[in-house]
Amino acid sequence: MSHLILVRHGQSEWNLQNRFTGWVDVDLTAQGKLEACKAGELIKDLNINISYFYSSYQKRAHETLKLILNTMRIKNDKILKAWELNERHYGELTGLNKDEMKKKYGEEKIFKFRRSWDIPPEPLSKNNPYHPSNIETYNDIPREKLPDTESLKDTYERVIKYYLDNIKNNLNKNILIAAHGNSIRALCKYLFDLDNQIISKLEIPTGNPLLITFDNNNVKEAKYLDFSRAKDLIKF
């Protein structure tokens, strides 16, 4: 048997401010750093050897993984960073307060933008400072790969392509991925064969490792390591 551990980054500054973050590269809060360290303790208690470590390009995920590895006393020079594991791009909603947008457009419309399968928000202008082309973190990504907006379907397609091309063949060993709510949601949709309605309801808690156990490349079990903050839509 082998294990895949998925961890959504700890609370970020824009999580705290209830803003649509997407591809904007924001830091962890103090609470987010504590969540990452707690995740490290929970993973350490599993007493398993982890061979591969992946994170998105975004520092909230990368710093979460570094704090986890520091807690586990593992050198962080083995981290593989992939922009394909980045959070979903929220288009013109980027940077806006979620509650204010619900008041302006209505809760149903904002929910559709946030959780629908294939409805993206309107594109973010390339002149906007929050556009990926204006963020230094993404300078080495080909310009044509940088999105202006994404649906969950768009996010799923890039995440799963990267998973199939770069991660799946390593599942004979234990793997740890630090990523984001929507990139982890995409992985869960693929791994657990969730339909488009269920995936829209799936909540991914910050800093709570999801341990997925494989037997001959088939998912055998999945559980959150922090039971007090577990979400209960994945059942085995």
**Which residues does the annotation mark as catalytic?**
9, 87
Are 146 and 172 in contact by the 8 Å Cβ rule? The answer is no
Angle of CA points 56, 14, 87, to nearest 5°: 25
Q: Smallest Cα–Cα separation from 5: which of 45, 70, 37, 53?
A: 53
Distance CA 198, CA 205 (A): 16
**DSSP annotation string for 122-168:** PPPPTTSTTSGGG-GGGTTS-GGG--S---HHHHHHHHHHHIIIIIG
- Chain centroid to CA 188: 11
Q: Return the structure tokens found at 51.
A: 């061979």
